[in-house]
Amino acid sequence: MARQVWKPGNMVYPVPAAMVTVADKAGNTNIITVAWTGTICSDPPMAYVSIKPERYSHHMIEETGEFVINLTTKATAFATDYCGVRSGRDEDKWKATGLTPEKASKVSVPIIRECPVNIECQVTEVKRLGSHDMFLAKVLAVDVDEAYMKENGKFELNSTGLIAYSHGEYRELGKAIGKFGYSVRKKR
């Protein structure tokens, strides 16, 4: 079968649809949904978000140099979409979604209680790329919901109902098909 060749565009999917929390210097806070986010370095742990300058959240990140990446689940999918189609310029998205702000451990920006993982970040560099500004950041702390901690100390992240965003749709993750390195592990 022949392949179509499309003009350049963004087609790296699936990606997260994270709810990113932000604050300005006066202490006002907001939630923005961000798909252009990810890990960029393991040691030191670093992450990024790419945000359009016209987003209300953009100036807030610039003011405090901080943000929190809150991982999203099936239970928070509706709120995730909402925070991606409504602006904090016009309304309080905490009130509109019923999400609960909680104090972070290292940054001034609140974490979202309903999310199983909250990644506290401090901006180290801003890259003005074009449509989006990329905020590169150091991870200062990772908060996890104790409800998913097992007695043996294992964090059951894959039991939290994580969702992904792919080609315009929010999707649940399917069942496990292998573990890291399973392709080379000897069968017992």
Ligand X SMILES: Cc1cc2nc3c(=O)[nH]c(=O)nc-3n(C[C@H](O)[C@H](O)[C@H](O)COP(=O)(O)O)c2cc1C
Provide the binding-site residues for ligand X, judged by CB under 6 A: 17, 30, 32-36, 50-52, 55-57, 81, 84-89, 132, 165
CA 1 to CA 36: how far, in whole Å? 32
Of 139 and 164, the one with the shorter C-beta distance to ligand X is: 164
Residue nearest to ligand X (CB): 84
Q: DSSP states of the chain as a string? A: -PPP-PPS------B--EEEEEE-TTS-EEEEEESSEEEEETTTTEEEEEE-TTSHHHHHHHHH-EEEEE--BGGGHHHHHHTTTS-TTTS-HHHHHT--EE--SSSSSPEETTSSEEEEEEEEEEEE-SSSEEEEEEEEEEEE-GGGB-TTS-B-GGGS-BEEEETTEEEE-------TTTTTSPP-
Closest CB 3 distance from ligand X, rounded Å: 27
Closest CB 131 distance from ligand X, rounded Å: 8
Closest CB 126 distance from ligand X, rounded Å: 13
CA 84 to CA 34: how far, in whole Å? 7
Of 32 and 104, the one with the shorter C-beta distance to ligand X is: 32
Closest CB 33 distance from ligand X, rounded Å: 4
CB 69 within 8 A of CB 20: yes
Closest CB 58 distance from ligand X, rounded Å: 7
Of 144 and 173, the one with the shorter C-beta distance to ligand X is: 173
Of 114 and 165, the one with the shorter C-beta distance to ligand X is: 165
Of 55 and 107, the one with the shorter C-beta distance to ligand X is: 55
Closest CB 188 distance from ligand X, rounded Å: 42
Of 148 and 161, the one with the shorter C-beta distance to ligand X is: 161
